[in-house]
Amino acid sequence: MNSANAPLVIVGAGHAGGRAALTLRAEGYSGRLILIGDESHPPYERPPLSKGLLQGTIDLAGYSLCDSTRLAELEIEHLAGNPVKSLDPQQHRLQLADGSWLTYARLLLATGGRSRRLSSLPEHLGNVLYLRTHDEALALRASLRPGARLVIIGGGFIGLEVAATARALGCTVTLLEAGPRLAGRVLPERLSSVLLELHRSQGVDVRLNVVIEAVQGNACVEAVQLVDGELLPCDLVVVGIGMQPNIELAAAAGIEVGQGIRVDAQLRTSAPDIFAAGDVCEFQLHPQGVFQRQETWRNAETQGHHAALNLLGGEQPFEVIPGFWSDQYDWGLQIVGVISNAEPTAIRATAEGGFLLFYLDAEQRLLGACGWGQGNSIAKEIKLCERLIAHPNPLSLDALADAGVPLKQLLRS
Amino acid sequence: MTDQWIDVCAVGEINEEDVIRFDHGQHTYAVYRSADSEFFATAGLCTHESIHLADGLVMEHVIECPKHNGRFDYRSGKALGAPVCVNLKTYPVRVEAGRVLLAITV
């Protein structure tokens, strides 16, 4: 078979893969299109899994990119339950678990990741849950009954959002974090502090710098034991200690990998006609930048879209201002651009105890910003910050710190 | 089925090139004032994941959703690209004696 006339194939039917498939059709690609995923559901967005789905305010249809009827209308062949076993980049083909081979013209790897497992917890324990997929979220929802004693291992976004939701559902929550502060890998100190204060005020027993010694229980975890001997009795353990990118398929095929599948500015891997996007994709924000992965909604959305354009022959580099958010209780945080470990260059107080942190370069141009506020109240300012980052002009520190100066005015001055 | 005009707010309660949320009965609306002080109204929730649009940013004639950056032309309700694909419903607005009024069908 001549691979030039072969289908476009996307491996990974999550947000990035799904967005790529929909974009290919929206851009007019009318050839055969195959979307291969592990899950039986149509592609969906993951942020509601730790919030709205657990609380029952949104269901799968509410956060799916489209439903199966729409996939069929668009003639996107969704293969589930027959995962890819191996890639053969030289022959432009891949082998499925059932042994059949599929030739592709071009291939997108959007294989995402899986929850990092806590090796000290035996896998057979019935009440240890992880959260990455819709089905895992449903299992968690069924366990979050009022009065349930929950121990959360990991003070990153999954752990924190589950803690907030579990409190709203009436659970007792203890949250264990190995590091000295919450979400310390990605958040500035000040946001870690307000999160700690918020969770404690909402009744979460947050423990920092914690080392787990062992768990007690045979079929289920009955208590988590800390190294200082303290026992934390529990009905349920949720582990949120990060994601492991699914790079094995690419690595076994000789495609260059680091912490993810490495791509160039056009999202091309080291193998011909194979692209990567989403959580698994390791890319540079700038030509001289470090390789990094971005496990965010925005990255899945924009990279999936961009990869589709380049699968169709586009040559544009992937250039994006990164960003993410988290919602906990009635509060929201949003981050845009690149923030450093250094202190923010300027701080603006906003309504109702919120704030904005600005990170500027030596020429006083905005590189990144963080916002904290009630609900989505900080979103407007963060969007304006994104535009200030995109059109870098030197900014007045006094104006940034002054809540009386609209950011829109700085954008247009 | 007749149009009923509902009082939203005073003209000065919406900044130029901005939006406010307006709740009435079981419904929520987003009411806009353009840079040249024309008024418009759309459904209040984004068609993507039901987020209140009034927390979003208005730039010229575009409202951008606070969460997923879905963009709409608030004059026509037209969705301007992924992740939004369903247009917003729009509602007639008029200004009378310094008040902004919104028409709903009852």
Strand pairing partners for A173? A150
Give Cβ neighbours of residue A57 (< 8 Å, ≥ 6 apart). none
**Is the pLDDT assigned to residue A282 strictly greater than 90?**
yes
What stretch of H or E contains B100?
A: strand B99-105
Question: What pLDDT is stored for residue A254 in this prediction?
Answer: 98
Q: Which residues contact A22 (CB under 8 A, 6 or more apart)?
A: A65, A66, A74, A76, B82
| Average pLDDT over every residue of A14-35 | 98
Instruction: Assign A3 a pLDDT band (cuts: 50, 70, 90).
Output: confident
Q: Identify the pLDDT of residue A392.
A: 87
Q: State the pLDDT at residue A242.
A: 96
Whether A62 sits inside 8 A of B57 (CB atoms) is no
Q: Which domains, ranges and CATH numbers included, belong to chain B?
A: 3-105 (2.102.10.10)
Residues A51-74 have a mean pLDDT of: 95
Q: Which helix (H) or strand (E) holds A96?
A: strand A93-96
Q: Give A307's contacts in chain B (Cβ within 8 Å).
A: none
- Find, among A392, A72, A111, A66, the residue nearest to A257 by Cα: A111
Q: Which of B68, B71, B84, B86 to mutate to test the interface with A (most CBs of A within 10 A)?
A: B68
> What pairing do the DSSP bridges indicate for beta strands A8-11 and A33-37?
parallel
CA distance A26 to chain B (A): 10
Mean pLDDT score across all residues of chain A: 96
Range A206-217 average pLDDT: 95
Is pLDDT of B106 > 80? no
Find the CB nearest A325 among B59, B64, B67. B67
What average pLDDT does the segment A116-131 reach? 91
> Residue B15 pLDDT more than 80?
yes
- pLDDT-derived band at A182 (thresholds 50, 70, 90) equals very high
pLDDT at residue A2, as a whole number: 62
| Interface predicted TM-score (ipTM) over 0.90 | yes
d(CA A38, CA B69): 28
CATH of domain A117-239: 3.50.50.60
Residues of chain A with pLDDT > 70, as a percent, come to: 100
Tokens of A116: 């990092």
Q: DSSP code of A159?
A: H
Answer yes or no: is pLDDT of B76 > 70. Answer: yes
Q: From CA A336, how far away is CA A63, in angstroms rounded?
A: 23
Percent of chain B having pLDDT more than 90? 87
Q: Predicted confidence band at A89 (pLDDT cuts at 50, 70, 90)?
A: very high
The Cα-based distances of A362 to A345, A366, A367, B59, B65 in angstroms read 10, 10, 10, 29, 32
Interface of B with A (CB under 8 A): 17, 49-52, 55-57, 59, 64, 66-69, 82-83
pLDDT digit string (tens) for A306-327?
999 999 999 999 999 999 999 9
Closest chain A residue to B47, measured at CA = A62
- CA A79 to chain CA centroid, Å, is 23
Chain B CB contacts of A408 below 8 Å = 17
Calculate Rg over the CA atoms of chain A.
23
What is the rounded (10 degree) CA torsion for A175, A189, A338, A308? Answer: 10
Residue A390 touches partner B, C-beta closer than 8 Å: no
Say if strands A172-176 and A113-115 run parallel, antiparallel, or are unpaired. Answer: unpaired
Position A1 pLDDT exceeds 80? no
Check pLDDT > 80 for residue A97. Answer: yes
Domain boundaries, chain A: 3-114+244-311, 117-239, 330-412
Q: The CATH number of A330-412 is which of 3.30.390.30, 3.30.465.10, 3.40.50.800, 3.90.550.10?
A: 3.30.390.30
Same fold, A3-114+244-311 and A330-412: no
Task: Name which of A22, A376, A408 is nearest B51 (Cβ-Cβ).
Answer: A376
CATH class of A3-114+244-311: alpha beta
The residue-averaged pLDDT of B26-30 equals: 96
Please, are residues B94 and B57 in contact by the beta-carbon 8 Å criterion?
A: no
